[in-house]
Chains A and B, each alone.
Chain A
Amino acid sequence: MKYQPLVQLEQVSRYYGVTLAVDAMEFEIGRGEVVGFLGPNGAGKSTTMQMIAGTLAPSRGRILIDGIDILDQPRQAKAHLGYLPEQPPLYRELTVDEYLRFCARLNRIPRTERTAAVARAKQRCGLEQVGRRLIGNLSKGYQQRVGIAQAIIHNPSVVILDEPTVGLDPIQIREIRALIRELGNDHSVILSTHILPEVQATCDRVLIINRGRLVYSDSIAGLEQNMRGGRLILGLRRPPPLAELEALPGVEQVERIDAQHLQIHYAAEADPAESLARHAVEQDWGLFELTPQRLSLEDVFVELTCREDDQEAEAA
C-alpha cells in the first residue's frame, strides 16, 4: 500500500488583505506523530492551524486530511479532526456534561455510543468530578481540559491543539503535557507553542516557522544532535598563542573570552577535546577546564529565526 500521510500541506499560502501571513507552507504529518509547531508571536502558527482545522480557507495551495481535500469535502475531512483553538470554544452557560454531549452530537456520534464517548473523554481529561458543574464556573485549567475533551470526543485521527498550556499554572501544565503524550499513543497531535521545553517534553518532531515560512523541520533526536553543536570552553592557566591552537586538527576557530578562557569552534564530526587535552598536558598549558557547550533549544531557535531575518535583510 502507498504511504499516505495523515495531514499534507501543499504550497499553502494565506493572505490577510495584503499581508502575507503564511507563505507556501509545505509539510506532512504521519500517523501517530506528535508534532510541535514553534515560532515567535505572529509567525503564522495559529493561521496555519486554523487552515488545517478547516475554519480558515487557504488563499493558495491544498490541504489534505487522510487524502481528502478539506475545501472540496469539508465534512468528510473534518470528521478526522479535533481542534482546540487558542481560546477554547466553550458555552459557559452549559454544564460540562451537557457541553460534551452537544459536541458528541455535532460530530455525529451515534446515539448508542454517545454516553460512552462522553465518559471516555471525561476520563482521559480528568473531568469526572466536574461533569455537573457549569463551565463558566470552572478554573482556567479545567476549562482548558474541557476544550481538549471536546477535541478528542469523536476519537479523531488528528488532534490540533493551539497553545494548549497558555495561562495555566505549572502543575496544570505538567498534567496537560502528560495528557498530550498519552494522546500521542493513538492520535496524531499537532501542537503549537512558543514555549520551547514543551516541545522537547512532548513532541516527536519539531517544525519551526518564522514570518509564515517553514524554517526548520526535524525529529527531536535530530534537533538534539544539532544542539550538541560545535563548541568547547577551554580554560588554560598559560594559554599559547591562538594560532597554535587553531593549527590543531578539527579546530576551526578560537575566540578569547578572557585571559584564561577560550572558546573553541570545531567541525561537527571532529571533536578535538581529546587532542586538546593531550596537547595541554604535553606542553604544560595548565589545563583547568574543558567543557563541551550544548546549545539550548532557545539558541537553535534564535539562530534559525534570526538567520532567516539576516538573509532577508541582505536580499533587500
Chain B
Amino acid sequence: MMLLTLAGRELRSLFLSPLAWTILAVVQLLLGYLFLGQVDFYLQLLPRLASLEGAPGLTQLVVAPLFGNAAIVLLLVIPLLTMRLVADERRNRTLSLLFSAPLSMTEIVLGKFLGVMGFLAVMLGLICLMPLSLLLGGSLDWGVLFSGLLGLSLLLGAFAAAGLFFSTLTSQPAAAAVASFGLLLLLWVLDWAGNSLEGAGRSVLSYLSLLRHYEALLEGVFKTSDVVYYLLFIIAFLVLGIRRLDNDRLQH
C-alpha cells in the first residue's frame, strides 16, 4: 500500500515533467524507424525464405532485432530516468520528508523502483504495439515474443536498479547518470574482451555480461539461470541502495 503511494508519486512527478514525455516520444520514434527498416528487410528476404525449409519467421527476423535495438536505446535512456530518483530529492531537500515519515528505507527504495518500473511498463507497452501491428498481415510466434518481452523487462529492471543505486550515492543527478551509464555499458561489452581470453576467465566474463543472458531469451530460449541472473542483479542493487540510504542517517 505504502509502496503504491510512493510509486504513484514518483510516476506522477515523472509525467508532470517534460522529461518523461520526451523520452517516450524519442524512444518510440527511434524504434519505429528501426522497426520499419526490419520489416522492409523481411519483405526483401521473403521470396528466398519461401523456398527454404525451417526458415526463420517473422518473429525471429523482425521482433527479436527490435527488442535487441530497444535494449541498446534504453541503456542510453534509463540512466537519465533514474538519475533524479534520490539525487534530486537530496538536492531539493525533500528527502527529509520521507525520512521523517513513518517509513522504512526498504519501502522508500522499493517504492521508487516500482515507480520507475511503472513508467517502463508504459514504455514496454508502447514498444509491444509494433510487433502486435504485424498481426494485421501475418502471424507471430507467441513463445518467442513473450520470452523476448520477459528478457527486455528483466533487463530494464536491472538497468533501473543499478541507476537507482547510483542515484542514492550522490546529490548530483548528472553524476548519477554518468556513473550508471558507465557501469551498464561496461557490463554490456564485458564479454567482447572475453572473446580473446581462454577458459575460466572467459566464462566468468561472459556470465557477468548483461548481453549474453538477454540474447538467449531473445532467441526464445528460456533458461532459469538467465532469469535468476537478472533477479539477483536487481536484488543486489536494491539492497545496496537501501544500505546506502540507511547510512545517510548515520554518517554525513
Contacts and interface: CB of A to CB of B under 8 A. Distances in A.
B2 A87 contact: no
A72 interface: no
Interface in A74-128: 74-76, 78-79, 81, 83, 85-87, 89-94, 98, 102-103, 105-108
Contact of B104 (A75, A102, A105, A150): A75
A53 interface: yes
**Interface range on chain A (Cβ under 8 Å from partner):** 20 to 34
Given A87-B93, A90-B94, A105-B5, A55 B102 contact: no
B20 to A, nearest CB: 12
Interface in B60-95: 92-95
Interface in A38-53: 50, 53
B96 A91 contact: no
Interface string B177-212: 000000000000000000000000000000000000
A57 B103 contact: no
A85 B90 CA distance: 13
B52 interface: no
B252 A102 contact: no
Most buried by A among B101, B104, B250: B101
A92 B102 CA distance: 22
Given A106-B5, A108-B2, A93 B100 contact: no
B96 A74 contact: no
Interface string A52-74: 01111100000000000000001
Contacts of B95: 89
27 contacts: A50-B96, A54-B99, A54-B100, A54-B249, A55-B100, A57-B249, A74-B102, A75-B103, A78-B100, A78-B101, A81-B100, A83-B96, A85-B93, A85-B96, A85-B100, A89-B92, A89-B93, A89-B97, A91-B13, A92-B92, A93-B17, A94-B16, A98-B12, A102-B9, A105-B2, A107-B101, A108-B102
Interface of A: 16, 50, 53-57, 74-76, 78-79, 81, 83, 85-87, 89-94, 98, 102-103, 105-108, 150
Interface of B: 2, 5-6, 9, 12-13, 16-17, 92-104, 249-250, 252
